[in-house]
Amino acid sequence: MSWVTFFQQLMNGISVGSLYALLAIGYTLVYGILGLINFAHSDVFMLGTYFAFFMMVIFLLPWWLSVLIGVALCAVVGMSIERVAYRPLRNAPRISALITAVGVSFFIENFGLVTVGARPKGFPRPDLMKNVYVLLGARIQGVTFWVPVISILILFVLFSIVYRTKIGIAMRAVSKDMETTRLMGVDVDRIILYTFALGSALAGIGGVLWACKYPQINPLMGIFPGWKAFTAAVVGGVGNVVGAMLGGFIIGLAEILIVAFFPGLTGYRDAFVFTILIVFLLVRPGGLMGEAVREKV
């Protein structure tokens, strides 16, 4: 493989990886706090693309404003899911919440199929994403370049929130000890809502950027990126924000590079990612950055 091809693939991997990272953080934030895998997360990712799509196509709003509104709506949807579906089950057995999460996911997907239909829609991309740049002799698509740049900026904002603000301190506290956090005067239900808002906004951004890279959107488009981002969260250590980001980049790079080096394995691209998931669950369920798994009693 030539250097140029390798570099192109590397950029491509980083670009896909940064999208997994954005999505994985939503899984990990919610898991860290509620011990719940929010299966509906990948559907919020999908909704983000549709929200932005309709803002552009029906309301004819500029691209950036449509994305902003789409992301805000995702945050609202995320909070609504928590309020309507998960909060009433806060003290129920965990399996009930898990089944509910699957139910919410199916509901959103099928609601999408009924209302907007299964036929994919073309997602309008700004020129910025369509340009082609020449970088170190390699031709790099605008989207491949800008997606990681934007993602990393967003991750920076996220880390500032989690590690530098009062709400961030409360989030990390809730994830360790919900009851003691209550004793500190923290309205824990509100912190959980913020967590869902934050994770869902990231999913919305991820969705829009994904649609810039693969500009065909449909109501089931979230499923595979969702599973892969979940894998990324497991690889990084579920509940660990830095780990989720790391896992996202690892999965993205691994998936792209394995195909680049072994073109014969192209058909096994997805299987490869899920093999990583299974191996990690067997060998190192705590992930790269997670602590040893301990059962909460």
Rounded to whole angstroms, how far apart are CA atoms 59 and 139? Answer: 35
Residue 141 CB, nearest approach to other proteins (Å): 40
Minimum CB distance to other proteins, residue 91 (Å): 12
Shortest distance in whole angstroms from residue 286 CB to other proteins: 15
Beta carbon nearer to other proteins, 100 or 240: 240
Considering the complex, state which of residue 167 and residue 260 has its C-beta at the smaller distance from other proteins. 167
The residue count for the chain: 297
Report the alpha-carbon distance of residue 25 to residue 201 in Å, rounded: 11
SS3 122: strand
Q: Which is nearer to other proteins, 11 or 193 (CB)?
A: 193
Minimum distance of other proteins from residue 179's CB (angstroms): 6
* Cα–Cα nearest to 248, from 279, 227, 266: 227
CB of 99 to other proteins, least distance (A): 25
Instruction: Between 77 and 233, name the residue whose CB sits nearer to other proteins.
Output: 233
Q: 9-40 burial string, b = 16+ CB within 10 Å, else e?
A: bebbbbbbbbbbbbbbbbbbbbbbbbebbbbb
Binding positions for other proteins, rule: CB under 8 A: 166, 169-170, 172-173, 175-177, 179-188
Phi, psi torsion values for 38, nearest 5 degrees: -85, 90
Which amino acid, residue 164?
A: R
Closest distance of CB 191 from other proteins, Å: 10
Q: Which is nearer to other proteins, 127 or 179 (CB)?
A: 179
Residues 6+ apart with CB under 8 A from 38: 26, 27, 30, 31, 81, 86, 101, 196, 199
Residues pairing with 134 in the sheet: 139
Comparison of 76 and 169: residue with beta carbon closer to other proteins: 169
